[in-house]
Amino acid sequence: MAGGKVRVRRVYEEPEPGDGTRVLVDRIWPRGLTKAKAALDEWCKNVAPSDELRKWYSHDPDRFEEFGRRYQLELQDPQRADALVHLRGLARDRQLTLLTATRQPEISEAAVLAGVLRT
C-alpha cells in the first residue's frame, strides 16, 4: 500500500494528532461515549462482522485465528467488500486509525481489518 498507514486504537482513548482519519469499525455504538468525545471522521459499521460471528467469537483469544479467517470470508460479501474498498481508499495516502470499543483491540475485528488493509 503506497503512502498511508493503518493503526488500531480503542475509541475510548483520547484522540492523538497522529491518528489521521479516525474510523469506528464496530457495528454497535460504544457504550457511554458521546459523538463529540469519540472525535470520529466516520462510523463504518457496514464493514463490521456479522452478529453471529461476533457472538461466536466473544473475544476469546483462543478463537482469534479462526475468527480472523471467518471474518475475512465475510469481507467478501458485497456490502462489506464495498466498505473495505472505501477504507482502502482512506488509507491510500494518509494515516488511518481504526477504532473499536473492545478492551483488547489487538484481537478485534479492527486488528483483522488493519491486517487486510496493510496487504
Predicted pLDDT of residue 80: 96
pTM of the model: 0.94
Predicted pLDDT of residue 4: 67
**Each residue's pLDDT tens digit, 2-47:** 456 999 999 999 999 999 999 999 999 999 999 999 999 999 999 9
What CA–CA distance (Å, rounded) separates 62 from 5? 28
DSSP-assigned beta bridge partners for residue 110: none
Q: Which domain holds residue 55?
A: 5-118
Predicted pLDDT of residue 2: 46
Predicted pLDDT of residue 1: 40
**Each residue's pLDDT tens digit, 44-62:** 999 999 999 999 999 999 9
How many structural domains does the chain have?
Answer: 1
Predicted pLDDT of residue 119: 87
**Each residue's pLDDT tens digit, 69-101:** 999 999 999 999 999 999 999 999 899 999 999
Of 80, 94, 67, nearest in space to 1 by CA: 94
Who has greater pLDDT, 1 or 113?
113
Predicted pLDDT of residue 93: 86
In which residue are the cell numbers 491518528 written? 19
